[in-house]
Amino acid sequence: MKNLFGYIGRAFITFLQDLSSVLYLFRDTVVQSVILVSDRKKRKQARLLAYVDEIGTQSLLLVLTVSALFGIALTVLISFQLKEIGGYNYIPGFVAMAVFREMAPLITAVIIAGRVGASFTARIGTMKVSEEILALETMAINPVRFLVVQRFIGLVLALPALTLLAGFTAVFGSFLFGSTRLGIRPDTYLRETLDVLMFRDVYSGMVKAAVFAVVIAMIGCYRGLVVAGGAEDVGRSTMRAVVSSTLTIIVLDTVMTAAFYG
Amino acid sequence: MVLDGIDFTAERKKITYVFGTSGGGKSTLLKILIGALKPDAGAVYFHETDITKLQGRELDPFRKKIGMLFQQGALLNSFTVGENIALPMREHTVLDDNIISIMVKMKLELVGLRDFEHLLPGQLSGGMRKRVALARALALDPEVVFFDEPTSGLDPIMASVITKLIADLNRLLGITCIVVTHAVEEAMRIADKIVILYMGKVLAEGTPQEIRSSASPIVQQFITGSPDGPISFHASSKDFREDLIVG
């Protein structure tokens, strides 16, 4: 029992230390982003949008495939319940709301945490091991500005865009299944969707996506920057980055859903 | 404690070699000298400034005056050779891209690798990577260049090439060189001053001649690389027989 309390206590202290370090990195990243964006020469050199392209093209197919399948699966599940009462016409509205408010931001963020967040940690961690980050510091180049800002800006722009596309794809998957297998007329599907879906639903999803992007970028980069050993620590840090980003995303999602709709 | 009471001066426009046993605190010393580690106590003076008192961005003016050749080169792997060398100039000067491109070629010519500007570090041999890293360290025409094991892991010819480059940088460009290494012969050949670290302290310092004629058996063992001498092959503190019996 004593060991258990000790373990919990140590874990809590580590959590607080990590949290304060991530917040410090976030503050530093915002400051460096402002400096970089306001300096014309450095902005041109930094290729700020390079990561938007990289994240977008790398993950688009995966995100869209998962979203389409999710839209279909959600439709199948609800149709079982609504079949008894002949309420298939409620499907479009329910799917659109669930997808834009909750599922598209959450699923896209979890995919990106595993796909992109992990790659941030692995790349920066490997650079730490091979002394590239120390070399940057020795050349008086701020590693946060050089390595974190691009990734941060890239993810904050790319994740909401991917989330929006994921939302439309999931609705489209549901539309295809509903109109071909459940006999919902296409025009009815469209009308019901537009009747229920509010701008606020889409907007709240985008806000969530932007917050998740900050979480993934900060945790991914932080875990890379604190790699201390060799290849083994890069692996361990990458795993920890994915686990902590995913957990943080789920916790923040619950908090934000309660704040928006509670 | 890795280092304890280290005290030496590396003179301007001279080559100072620091050598010692593996794990003897050479790399730690180098990190303290470039401001990457803070010592618990003591000072490191560059001109009149104690760099151990500087924090974060305060170190930038000092770092723009130094270059560092890391043991493995530490080149940015996603950047080409040319981009690696151009990086410090792009960051810290207002030079036009065309001028930077000419400067990159000049630095590469200095290390004999002008044809390799567009390759990635991964496409180069270990020796070439070190030469490119040296060209990058020279990008801002530093006053001092630090070398961490510049010849380790290289074939004898490449090791001689790097050693000659260090000597040339010093003689032709007047750059102060501080080299941390195991390579005694190389140090004896080109050093103006040698500092020997042992057990975290300065064991001896002086010109190669002074070191060679030192009466200290430990210094002699360092120079000759003899396996027998005061520095024991066994690193274990416990008696072997006792250790076997007690388990």
Q: What is the pLDDT of residue B216?
A: 86
Mutation site, A139, A144, A150, interface B, largest B CB count within 10 A: A139
CA dist list (Å): A20 to A80, A117, A147, A249? 47, 19, 20, 17
Q: How confident is the model at residue B221 (pLDDT cuts 50, 70, 90)?
A: confident
- Alpha helices, DSSP H, located in chain A: 2-38, 40-46, 50-83, 91-98, 104-112, 118-129, 132-138, 143, 149-181, 186-196, 199-225, 231-261
Q: Average pLDDT of chain B?
A: 88
Q: What is the pLDDT of residue B246?
A: 66
Q: What is the pLDDT of residue B195?
A: 92
Q: How confident is the model at residue B77 (pLDDT cuts 50, 70, 90)?
A: very high
Q: What is the pLDDT of residue B234?
A: 63
Q: Does A140 touch chain B (CB under 8 A)?
A: yes
Residues of chain A falling short of pLDDT 50: none
> What whole-number distance in Å separates Cα of residue B133 and Cα of residue B184?
23
Q: What is the pLDDT of residue B2?
A: 73
Q: How far is A234 from chain B (nearest CA, A)?
A: 17
Residue in A closest to B89 by C-alpha: A139
Tracing tokens 């040296």 back to the chain, one arrives at B134
Residues of chain B contacting A139 with CB distance shorter than 8 Å? 63, 87-88, 91, 136
> What whole-number distance in Å separates Cα of residue A146 and Cα of residue A5?
41
- Which residue in the set A135, A140, A141 is minimally distant from B74, CB to CB? A135
Q: What is the arithmetic mean of pLDDT over B112-137?
A: 93
Asked if the Cβ–Cβ distance from B68 to A132 is below 8 Å, we say no
Between helix B81-92 and helix B97-110 the angle, nearest 10°, is 130
- Which residue in the set B36, B74, B90 is minimally distant from A130, CB to CB? B74
Q: Does B58 touch chain A (CB under 8 A)?
A: no
Q: What is the pLDDT of residue A123?
A: 95
Q: What is the pLDDT of residue B222?
A: 81
Asked if the Cβ–Cβ distance from A139 to B88 is below 8 Å, we say yes
Q: Does B75 touch chain A (CB under 8 A)?
A: yes
Range scoring the smallest mean pLDDT among B112-121, B125-134, B163-172, B218-227: B218-227
Q: What is the pLDDT of residue B1?
A: 64
pLDDT of B227 higher than 80:
no
Q: What is the arithmetic mean of pLDDT over B179-207?
A: 88
- Number of CB atoms found within 10 A of residue B142's CB: 20
pLDDT of B120 higher than 60:
yes
> What whole-number distance in Å separates Cα of residue A115 and Cα of residue A246?
12
Q: Does B131 touch chain A (CB under 8 A)?
A: no
Q: What is the pLDDT of residue B232?
A: 66
Number of Cβ pairs < 8 A linking chain A and chain B: 45
Asked if the Cβ–Cβ distance from A134 to B74 is below 8 Å, we say yes
Compute the C-alpha angle B64/B68/B73, nearest 5°.
130
Residues of chain B contacting A141 with CB distance shorter than 8 Å? 87-88, 91
How many CA atoms lie within 13 Å of A253's alpha carbon, on the beta-carbon side? 21
Residue in B closest to A134 by C-alpha: B36
- Number of CB atoms found within 10 A of residue A240's CB: 15
> What whole-number distance in Å separates Cα of residue B104 and Cα of residue B90?
11
Mutation site, B27, B78, B87, B178, interface A, largest A CB count within 10 A: B87
Asked if the Cβ–Cβ distance from B74 to A45 is below 8 Å, we say no
Asked if the Cβ–Cβ distance from A135 to B87 is below 8 Å, we say no
How many CA atoms lie within 13 Å of A69's alpha carbon, on the beta-carbon side? 8
Specify whether the CB–CB gap between B100 and B86 falls below 8 A. Answer: yes
3 state DSSP class of B15: strand
The listed range with the strongest mean pLDDT (B56-60, B140-144, B186-190) is B140-144
- Which residue in the set A45, A137, A140 is minimally distant from B64, CB to CB? A140
Quote the pTM value.
Answer: 0.87
